[in-house]
Structure 1
């Protein structure tokens, strides 16, 4: 068997892992991000353009690029979560987990008996990990991560109960939705002080419960803040933002052409 260090190994050892985030359906974009040096790449099926086939292709390309494949599933789709683990995703992030019952149903979908209810057919996962069926069965429950998103008042109120679910590996904070919920929909303030206080309290409770903690960050400063709070999976960098920023920078380098082109054609670049 090819030796492989899993995302779960790194996070449990205390090593911070930075993941990029992908909305655009393309197998090549996540592979480029993996080859650029990201420790993990997350495919967003909740708000992104990915369907099942596109996600499976992306997971393979992320692994090919040397990073850990993560997928955020649509709300409540636990059956899909199990299928994606079969296809080689190392970590599933589940949005809008607001109760212990939500957390239990999600977590058990990712684990084999007696811990959970996952059925057997991990053919692609076995191929990507380089394990035999026997090795995979023995190690999969610890190698596969399920992170419940904490992003509402309801989730914060139920956090102790959610963290008490033994099958659940950890939590993942969505600061944007959390700020919307905390402000009763009046403000989108993921970087604000109230959101930061809530994020710190969530991390503290997760660590005290022996759970892993991840979070979405929108700046390098927030990444540093998150690591100091105890978060070990940190999202920083979005494919759509990368493309927009790079395009604007490239056009800025030839901005001197704008007047000439406009005068000649009556249009922009």
Structure 2
């Protein structure tokens, strides 16, 4: 019996864009609510959300009962950290702050078992192998892991083609907030030069033969990126939706001005 099929990795090869949602509240309860909403994929954020390994695990266990593909973002591309999230059952891993092809090559090694990589062989005690009940896990796991690298700086955008050319990088995700800040526009991701850079990057990633992804809660921009061919697009975050809804609810009872959208300045 081989490793379980990875629906997110399979979806990257489909014709339609996969629509996703960001989970940053570090709550299995919130994850379960989002899992029933009908999204194609959910991102459990270990970089900016207050998640640790047990919390990541509990959310993966929650999502397993629903037809939605989980993706885990690690805080940083450390081999030991990637090993841990793979062992608890993550198959799709998003790594932030990747700027060079060499970094990408090291991440490919981290996510794969030997001889292709250096992932530690501890599957016998791991959830990933159903606790050693998947007899062919070690020889089939590499086929189902999915490495997504996050380009969110000028250096990364300049190196898009080199990063995309790395065998084993399955997709490239653009981080718009950090990219805007690195370009000199912190909190101003809708500056024309930033939007132009993002659009060109999406096209360059596709031209290099890799799927492109992004997060944007503005429906106009999200749909624009889908039109450009972005293959996986997150369209909102749990924190932002909850913040906006609670602020507007309180405002409506205080007799304040009409509800206003809450602008997100968090780093994606």
The yes-or-no answer on 1:176 pairing with 2:177 is yes
Aligned residues: 252
Correspondence for 2:33: 32
- Structure 1: gaps (5+ residues): 257-269
What secondary structure is seen at the aligned counterpart in 2 of 1:71? strand
Counterparts of 1:215 and 1:151 in 2: how far apart (Å)?
A: 10
Against the structure 1 CA distance between its residues 247 and 43, is the aligned structure 2 distance closer, same or farther, given a 3 Å change threshold?
same
Correspondence for 1:260: none
The runs of at least 4 consecutive aligned structure 1 residues that moved more than 6 Å come to: none
Counterparts of 2:5 and 2:99 in 1: how far apart (Å)?
A: 34
Q: TM-score normalized by structure 2?
A: 0.84
The correspondence for 1:133, drawn from 123, 131, 135, is: 135
1:164 to partner: Cα distance: 1.7
Counterparts of 2:20 and 2:47 in 1: how far apart (Å)?
A: 17
Cα offsets for 1:76-121 (capped at 9, x unmatched)? 3232112212212131111110111211111221122333222333
Please tell me whether the aligned partners of residues 215 and 236 of structure 2 are also in contact (alpha carbons under 8 angstroms).
no
1:44 to partner: Cα distance: 1.2
Once the two structures are superposed, the pairs formed by residues 139-154 of structure 1 within 5 Å of their partners are 139-154=140-155
Correspondence for 2:232: 233
Correspondence for 1:21: 22
- Structure 2: gaps (5+ residues): 256-268
Bigger proportion of residues as helix: 1
Against the structure 1 CA distance between its residues 3 and 81, is the aligned structure 2 distance closer, same or farther, given a 3 Å change threshold?
closer
Correspondence for 2:261: none
Counterparts of 1:126 and 1:148 in 2: how far apart (Å)?
A: 24
Counterparts of 1:194 and 1:78 in 2: how far apart (Å)?
A: 35
Considering only CA atoms, is the larger Rg found in Structure 1 or Structure 2?
Answer: 1
Cα offsets for 1:146-179 (capped at 9, x unmatched)? 1111110111222222112112112110011111
Correspondence for 2:187: 188
Correspondence for 1:244: 243
Counterparts of 1:242 and 1:103 in 2: how far apart (Å)?
A: 33
Please tell me whether the aligned partners of residues 5 and 144 of structure 2 are also in contact (alpha carbons under 8 angstroms).
no
Please tell me whether the aligned partners of residues 8 and 142 of structure 1 are also in contact (alpha carbons under 8 angstroms).
no
Counterparts of 1:254 and 1:181 in 2: how far apart (Å)?
A: 40
What secondary structure is seen at the aligned counterpart in 2 of 1:245? helix
Please tell me whether the aligned partners of residues 173 and 199 of structure 1 are also in contact (alpha carbons under 8 angstroms).
yes
Counterparts of 1:68 and 1:121 in 2: how far apart (Å)?
A: 24
What secondary structure is seen at the aligned counterpart in 2 of 1:69? strand
Q: TM-score normalized by structure 1?
A: 0.84
